[in-house]
């Protein structure tokens, strides 16, 4: 085990995030089992697996929304909870109640609350930071609009802007490319590249294996346990993908294609 003041490493690089033999249960059923991997600071990781594989469960455990049954999570060498607002989490759109009467600007300002504390009011610096994040996502003109009036792609940009306003070291994004337009996907990927240049660590779940292989440094292949972790050419082989997705994998024109319709059985935790 590592002492609290010791920085974990992934090879020669300092570890931004380290998960060791982590297990999570839902009502006595295994959602994640003995997961171990280490992410260097500034890396981008695509988290891939079928529905019910534990992708959302992993993200919620990484921000303390779900307790570990066993194992440990370390951020910059310290146990989970020792860093103030270090990890930003962008949930799936379907988990958000879009009827809540709040403006786009107010949603992004929520990302500043961790730095403000409970009793300080947002100041000029916070308002400027929120607007800067909206501008980076190309939606500054929507600042006064109700969040529920936006398209799916616009809503996704708002929640990513809120994550940026938090100024995190690590960003977790759960299915950010599902149901969004091509422009939002391109904007998000361009932002990812800028964040990586700033040494922000990114973990993003996706069903798009080819996008993951093209746009991310590492692949984490899950199906309640870790099937593979590493560069795409090592982690995304026909054998590992077939093991993760139950054999419902095809090669079309040299690309891996998963039959997502075969993976819609109800499960505990995505």
Q: Please, what is the end-to-end C-alpha distance for the chain in angstroms?
A: 29
pLDDT (tens digit, 9 = 90+) per residue, 90-102?
A: 988 777 776 778 8
Of 102, 110, 155, the residue nearest 130 (C-alpha):
110
pLDDT (tens digit, 9 = 90+) per residue, 21-77?
A: 999 998 788 999 999 999 998 999 999 999 889 999 999 999 989 999 999 999 888
Q: CA–CA separation, 59 vs 228, rounded Å?
A: 17
3-state secondary structure of 206: coil
pTM (two decimals): 0.83
Give the other-Cβ count within 10 Å of 127's Cβ.
Answer: 14
Output DSSP code: residue 12: T
**Structural domains of the chain sorted by starting position, each given as residue range(s) with its CATH number in brackets:** 1-83+206-270 (3.40.50.300)
Q: What percent of the chain clears pLDDT 90, i.e. is strictly above it?
A: 43
Give the other-Cβ count within 10 Å of 64's Cβ.
Answer: 13
Q: CA–CA separation, 237 vs 10, rounded Å?
A: 23
- Alpha helix segments (H runs only) across 137-226: 152-165, 182-197, 209-215
Q: CA–CA separation, 66 vs 45, rounded Å?
A: 21
pLDDT (tens digit, 9 = 90+) per residue, 124-145?
A: 888 999 999 999 999 999 999 9
Structural element, H or E, at residue 240: helix 238-245
Supply the pLDDT for residue 267.
41
Q: CA–CA separation, 170 vs 43, rounded Å?
A: 10
């Amino acid at each position: 085990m590592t002492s609290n003041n010791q920085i974990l490493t992934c090879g020669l690089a300092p570890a931004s995030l380290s998960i060791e033999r982590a297990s999570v249960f839902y009502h006595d059923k295994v959602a994640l089992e003995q997961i171990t991997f280490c992410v260097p600071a500034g890396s981008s990781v695509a988290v891939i697996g079928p529905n019910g594989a534990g992708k959302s469960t992993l993200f919620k455990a990484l921000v303390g929304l779900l307790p570990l049954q066993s194992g440990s999570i370390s951020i910059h060498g310290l146990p989970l909870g020792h860093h103030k607002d270090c990890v930003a989490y962008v949930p799936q759109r379907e988990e958000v109640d879009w009827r809540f009467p709040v403006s786009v600007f107010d949603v992004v300002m929520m990302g500043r609350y961790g730095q403000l504390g409970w009793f300080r009011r947002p100041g000029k610096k916070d308002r400027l930071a929120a607007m800067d994040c909206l501008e980076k996502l190309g939606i500054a003109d929507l600042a006064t609009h109700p969040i529920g009036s936006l398209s799916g792609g616009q809503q996704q940009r708002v929640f990513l802007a809120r994550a940026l306003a938090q100024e995190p070291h690590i960003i977790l994004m759960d299915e950010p490319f599902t149901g969004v337009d091509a422009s939002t996907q391109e904007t998000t990927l361009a932002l990812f590249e800028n964040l990586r240049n700033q040494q922000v660590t990114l973990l993003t779940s996706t069903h798009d294996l080819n996008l993951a292989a093209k746009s991310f440094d590492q692949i984490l292949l899950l199906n309640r346990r870790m099937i593979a972790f590493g560069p795409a050419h090592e982690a995304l082989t026909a054998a590992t993908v077939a093991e993760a997705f139950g054999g419902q994998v095809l090669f079309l024109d040299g690309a891996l294609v998963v039959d997502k319709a075969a993976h819609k059985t109800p499960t505990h935790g995505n």
